[in-house]
Amino acid sequence: DTGVSQDPRHKITKRGQNVTFRCDPISEHNRLYWYRQTLGQGPEFLTYFQNEAQLEKSRLLSDRFSAERPKGSFSTLEIQRTEQGDSAMYLCASSASLAGGPYNEQFFGPGTRLTVL
Q: How far apart are CA 6 and CA 28, in angstroms?
A: 17
First to last CA, the chain: 33
CA distances from 86 to 4, 27, 32, 36, 64 (A): 23, 29, 21, 9, 10
Q: Residues 19, 25, 35, 75: which binds other proteins (CB under 8 A)?
A: 35
Q: Residues 42, 70, 85, 100: which binds other proteins (CB under 8 A)?
A: 42
48 is an interface residue for other proteins by CB under 8 A: yes
Min dist CB 95 to other proteins, Å, is: 6
CB-CB contact of 14 with 69 (8 Å): no
Q: Residues 44, 64, 83, 117: which binds other proteins (CB under 8 A)?
A: 44
Binding site for other proteins (CB under 8 A): 31, 33, 35, 37, 40-45, 48, 50, 55-56, 89, 91, 93, 95, 97, 101-111, 113
